[in-house]
């Protein structure tokens, strides 16, 4: 029950924030991806930077449970799948999460995006065994790894000599600097 | 954007952090598979079968998510439903429920006002996006935000692939700003 309440609260807040920053507006996303207006990119970079600093700073301070980390496997399929997703993201202006939000905020075209998403998931379900047979889903670069070795985490590191929490904080600062430096609009 | 990028980024960062602090990193695209599984099980009840070691499925990809398909009202699925509700409340509160009608401004400027053309673009986009997300094992939330936010190598690989195609395709499609 507690999990369901957390899902409602965090999920609801996530949806509201995505609406507020314009992430569920395909025009905003299309202008970002065609490099016309980068305000939303700045917001995303700032968010990732803050997330890195809060997560790893919190771990160092003993306030964040390292066990809550969930690192996905690095595979060739991650790159290929990302490339496929990117085409559809540019075409529709939606990714899975923002499409669901757009549907909730009454955008009628999002109904077609979500229906398409269900078809895409079904197509992948049918294709799964053949995709697996190609080796695209085999781990690369060590599989479930972080950049540096995070103390107390169950994951290995791509660069085991580096302290993962420090890497995270430094990277977070880099993301935030980039967020501030890139222009909101392309220079004329 | 209705809020500044600084406030927006701050709020977005806090939500993702709250998820990691209290439960686990945010992810969305898995729930499309779960809903497909629920629908498939309604049409053919043999899609998910009960067993001594819990639910399983003869369909290998559904089998990975058999437990969630058998009981979808858990954290991940409720989270995605709550996202839609939260976005709806937010949009209604700022008087923007329904968006700009069926055709977004940028699309209209480049492809005209035909709703069905837009609907077909959104449908095709949805098919491509979620197929790609499942092959990648995650989407913008799980790989890009949560993944890079944990310094996961997979998150960087995903983001590189995504922008490698998304930017050129968007540059090709959206020549007019609208």
Mean pLDDT of chain B: 93
Indicate the pLDDT class of residue B98, thresholds 50, 70 and 90. confident
Average pLDDT over residues B100-128: 95
Q: Does A156 touch chain B (CB under 8 A)?
A: no
Determine the pLDDT at residue B157: 97
Residue A58 CB contacts under 8 Å (≥ 6 apart), including other chains: A64, B17, B21
Does residue A90 belong to the interface with chain B, where contact is any CB pair within 8 Å?
yes
Pairing of strands A145-149, A156-163: parallel
Interval A133-144 mean pLDDT: 94
Nearest CA in chain A to B166: A86
Mutation for testing the A interface, residue in B83, B105, B111 having most A CBs under 10 Å: B83
Res A185: pLDDT: 84
pLDDT at A188 > cutoff 70: no
DSSP 8-state class, residue A183 = -
CA distance B103 to chain A (A): 7
Complex prediction ipTM: 0.95
Residues in B closer than 8 angstroms to A170, CB to CB, are none
Lowest mean pLDDT among A62-66, A80-84, B12-16: A62-66
Would you place residue A125 in the very low, low, confident or very high pLDDT band (cuts 50, 70, 90)? very high
Kindly tell me if the per-residue pLDDT of B73 is higher than 80: yes
**Confidence tier at A75 by pLDDT (50, 70, 90):** very high
Q: Binning pLDDT at 50, 70 and 90, where does residue B170 land?
A: very high
DSSP chain B: --S-HHHHHHHHHHHHHHHHHHS-----THHHHHHHHHHHHHH-GGGSB--TTS-B-SSHHHHHTHHHHHS--SHHHHHHHHHHHHHHHHHHHTT-TTBTBSS-HHHHHHH-S-HHHHHHHHHHHHHHHHHHHHHHT--IIIIIIIIHTTTBHHHHHHHHHHHHHHHHHHHHH--S--
Closest residue of B to A78, CA-based?
Answer: B136
Q: Is the pLDDT of residue B26 over 90?
A: no
Say yes or no for a CB contact (<8 Å) between A147 and B151. yes
Residue of B21, B33, B135 lying closest to A80 (CB–CB): B135
Q: How confident is residue B2, by pLDDT bands cut at 50, 70 and 90?
A: confident
Domain residue ranges of chain A, discontinuous segments joined by +: 2-181
Q: Using the beta-carbon criterion (under 8 Å), do B23 and A6 form an inter-chain contact? A: yes
Q: Residue B99 pLDDT > 80, yes or no? A: no
**Which pLDDT score, from 0 to 100, does residue B24 have?**
85
Confidence of residue A187 (pLDDT cuts 50, 70, 90): low
């Amino acid at each position: 029950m507690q999990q369901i309440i957390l899902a409602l609260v965090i999920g609801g807040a996530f949806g509201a924030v995505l609406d507020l920053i314009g992430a569920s507006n395909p025009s905003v996303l299309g202008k970002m991806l065609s490099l016309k207006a980068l305000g939303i990119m700045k917001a995303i970079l700032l968010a990732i930077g803050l997330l890195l600093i809060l997560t790893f700073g919190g771990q160092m301070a003993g306030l964040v449970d390292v066990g809550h980390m969930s690192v996905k496997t690095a595979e060739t399929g991650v790159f290929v799948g990302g490339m496929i997703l990117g085409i559809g993201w540019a075409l529709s202006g939606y990714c899975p999460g923002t499409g669901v939000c757009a549907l909730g905020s009454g955008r009628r075209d999002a109904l077609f995006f979500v229906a398409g998403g269900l078809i895409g998931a079904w197509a992948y379900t049918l294709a799964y065994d053949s995709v697996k047979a190609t080796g695209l889903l085999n781990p690369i670069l060590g599989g479930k790894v972080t950049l540096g070795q995070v103390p107390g985490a169950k994951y290995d590191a791509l660069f085991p000599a580096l302290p993962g929490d420090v890497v995270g904080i430094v990277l977070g600062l880099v993301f935030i600097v980039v967020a501030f430096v890139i222009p909101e609009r392309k220079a004329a | 954007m209705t809020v500044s990028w600084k406030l927006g980024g701050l709020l977005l960062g806090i939500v993702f952090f709250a998820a990691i602090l209290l439960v686990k990193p945010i992810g969305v695209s898995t729930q499309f598979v779960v809903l497909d599984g629920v629908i498939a099980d309604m049409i053919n009840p043999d899609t998910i079968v009960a067993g001594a070691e819990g639910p399983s499925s003869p369909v290998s990809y559904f089998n990975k998510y058999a437990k969630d398909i058998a009981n979808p009202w858990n954290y991940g699925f409720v989270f995605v439903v709550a996202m839609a509700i939260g976005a709806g409340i937010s949009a209604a509160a700022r008087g923007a429920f329904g968006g700009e009608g069926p055709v977004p401004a940028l699309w209209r400027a480049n492809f005209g006002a035909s709703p069905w053309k837009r609907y077909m673009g959104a449908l095709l986009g949805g098919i491509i996006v979620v197929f790609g997300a499942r092959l990648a094992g995650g989407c913008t939330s799980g790989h890009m935000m949560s993944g890079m936010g944990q310094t996961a190598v997979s998150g960087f690989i995903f983001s590189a692939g995504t922008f490698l195609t998304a930017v050129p395709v968007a540059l090709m499609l959206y020549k007019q700003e609208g």
